[in-house]
Every structure is written in structure tokens, then in C-alpha cells.
Amino acid sequence: MKEIPITSFDNLQIGQAENTAAGTGCTVVLLGKDGAPAGLDVRGGGPASRESELLKPLAAAQVIHAIVLAGGSAFGLDAAGGVMRYLEERSIGF
């Protein structure tokens, strides 16, 4: 199977930030102004997520514009707020 580098996709940006002193960080995948279709399989006894219900087949969201990977604490979940502001400032998404 041939490997396809993630950097070969158009309209895809990946960023990562960390705070080593606090032992935390996050990774963000931006999927461009047009977004991309997505699905999700949540597993485990205590998953923490934000807006994941929109990825169900009967939900209204046809595409997503970003994925945020962060810790499941309130601080990790709040990292999505910064990504939402970034998208809103650029009139991307709802």
C-alpha cells in the first residue's frame, strides 16, 4: 500500500501547541473553507467531546471545518472555543 503524506491534501492545515510546564497541549486540523464530511465512533467509559452529536448520520451538519484534539478536562474542551473564534473571524462555518 502506497503512503500518502497528509501534507499532500489541499486546504488542510495542521497546528500544534503545547505548554510543557503545565503538561498540556492540543492539535488542530483545519479543513478549509469548504470543510469536509466526517464521521465519529466514540468509545470508552467516559469520553469527553464537544459538538460530536453533529456527526451522527441524521444530524444537520454536512461537513466540518476543524478537528481539535485536546485533553478531556474542561480546559481541553475549551480549546475548541479558540478554534471556533478563528473560524468565525474568517466567516468559515456557522
pLDDT digits (tens, 9 = 90+) for 36-85: 888 887 777 777 788 888 887 777 788 899 999 987 778 888 888 999 99
Task: Report the pLDDT value the prediction gives residue 15, as an integer from 0 to 100.
Answer: 93
Average pLDDT over residues 11-38: 89
CA atoms within 13 A on the CB side of 16: 3
Q: Per-residue pLDDT averaged across 6-34, rounded?
A: 88
What pLDDT score was predicted for residue 16? 93
CA angle 68–70–72, rounded 5-degree value? 120
